[in-house]
Amino acid sequence: MHWETEIPDTIEVSDSILKKYVGTYETNRNFSIRCYLENHHLYTDSKVFPKVKLLPIANDEFYPLPFELYFKFVEENNIMKVKLLSSEKTDRAEGVRQ
């Protein structure tokens, strides 16, 4: 899942927005993802991939180098979710914050 397409440009996202995404998300693929703030950047780790920095391309969408994968955060009915999307923006997994 390494980048085969052009790597997207990044933007600045404030800590106040990033803090909304902090937490542990249980996925529909039987693993959890921990998202946390460190030095003004969002990081994630889980049993299926190592600690990686999430680079923002929108206030609610990020990607981890070196993986060609997108993290899209969505709040629905006061429940924060994260969708893991392929480079074609199709769902690979979805998690709900615990």
User: 4 in helix, strand or coil?
Assistant: coil
The per-residue pLDDT for range 76-96, each reduced to its tens digit, is 999 999 999 987 888 899 999
In DSSP terms, 43 is beta-bridged to 36, 53
Reply yes or no on whether the pLDDT at 1 is more than 80.
no
pLDDT, tens only, 29-80: 999 999 999 999 999 999 988 899 999 999 999 998 777 889 999 999 999 9
8 Å CB contact between 81 and 73: yes
**What pLDDT is stored for residue 36 in this prediction?**
98
Residue 7 pLDDT exceeds 70: yes
Structural domains in the chain? 15-97 (2.40.128)
pLDDT of 26 over the 80 cut: yes
